[in-house]
Structure 1
Amino acid sequence: MLAQEIIRRKRDGLTLSGEEISVFVDALANETLSEAQAAAFAMAVFFRGMDAAETVALTLAMRDSGHVLSWPGIDRPIADKHSTGGIGDNVSLMLAPIAAAAGLAVPMISGRGLGASGGTLDKLESIPGYNIAPDEATLSRIINDTGCAIIGQTAELAPADKRLYAIRDVTATVESMPLIVSSILSKKLAAGLQTLVLDVKFGNGAFMAEPDDARALARLLVQVANGAGLPTTALVTDMNEPLADAVGNAVEIENALSFLSGEKAGTRLETVVLAFAAEMIANAGLADSRESASDIAREVLSSGRALEVFGRMVAGLGGPSDFVERWQFYLPKANVIRAVAAPLSGYLTAMDARAIGLSVVSLGGGRKRPSDRIDHSVGYSMMKPLGTWVEEGEPLALVHAATEDGWQAAAATLSDAITIGNNPPSTRPLVLERVD
Structure 2
Amino acid sequence: MQKEKDVSDLLAFFKEQPSPGFSPRASRPRSSVPVAYVERYSVQFPLARPSSENMQAICLHGNRRPRYPASYFPASGYGVNKREADAVNTLEAWFGNCCRSNQTEEVTLCCATQAWEKSVSHFCKVGSSIKAPYFHCCKISGSERLSCFDNSAKNPSYNPTEEEPVQPVPPKAKFSFDPQSCPGAAMIPHNIRGKSRQKEAKTPTTSLEVNLTFPPAPPIHSNIESICRNQRLRPLYNIKCLAGLGYDLVARQAKTTNRLEKAFKRCCKNKQNALPCAQKSWEEQMKKFCVGSKGKPIDFPCCDVEALPLCFRNISTDPEYTKTVLTESLSLDNLCDTHKVIMKKFPVGFSLKSVVNKCCHQSATERSTCVPQALKEEFEAICSSRKAARPSMRRCCRDSSEQCFNEIIMEAITKATGFSLQRKKRCPVS
Q: TM-score, normalised by structure 2?
A: 0.25
Structure number with higher strand proportion = 1
Computing the radius of gyration from Cα coordinates, the structure with the larger value is 2
Higher relative contact order (Cα pairs below 8 Å, separated by 6+ residues): 1
TM-score, with normalisation over the residues of structure 1?
0.25
Q: Decide which structure has greater helix share.
A: 2
